[in-house]
């Protein structure tokens, strides 16, 4: 996913600094365990960084919103929702603008 006017590398660096309590993963992106981002914002970040490219639909992304962790250490997704591309891009732009002012 691309978002015009939001450079991915700069967004990534600012997001790590913006997410208080998060550390950067080996990928350079924040871990997403902080309380700074809402679930909707985090899903937008995941789509922006490319995690859901294999879940692309004509109008957006089909993303897991309910993950169940099993005792053996595995996990499964039980609920999926369609996230329109326009909504995800708007979330990224809103985060970008918010990070620009802080």
Output phi, psi for 73, to 5 deg: 95, -5
Give the pLDDT score at 79: 66
| CA 91 to chain centroid | 9
DSSP, collapsed to helix, strand or coil, labels residue 38 as coil
Comparing C-alpha atoms, which of 16, 63, 84, 57 is closest to residue 8?
Answer: 16
Give the pLDDT score at 78: 66
In this predicted structure, the answer to whether residue 85 has a pLDDT above a threshold of 80 is yes
Helix %, strand %, coil % of the chain (to 5):
40, 25, 35
Q: What pLDDT, in 10s, does the model give residues 14-73?
A: 898 888 777 777 788 887 777 788 888 888 898 898 888 888 888 888 876 667 778 898
Structure tokens at 6: 């939001």
In this predicted structure, the answer to whether residue 75 has a pLDDT above a threshold of 80 is no
Higher pLDDT, 92 or 66: 92
What is the number of residues in the chain?
102
């Amino acid at each position: 996913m691309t978002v015009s006017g939001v450079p991915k590398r700069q967004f990534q660096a600012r997001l790590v600094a913006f997410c208080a309590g998060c550390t950067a993963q080996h990928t350079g992106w924040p871990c997403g365990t902080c309380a700074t981002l809402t679930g909707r914002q985090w899903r937008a970040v995941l789509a922006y960084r490319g995690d859901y490219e294999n879940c692309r639909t004509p109008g957006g992304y089909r993303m897991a919103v309910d993950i169940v962790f099993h005792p053996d250490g595995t996990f499964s997704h039980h609920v999926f929702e369609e996230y329109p591309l326009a909504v995800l891009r708007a979330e990224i732009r809103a985060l970008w603008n918010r990070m620009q002012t802080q």
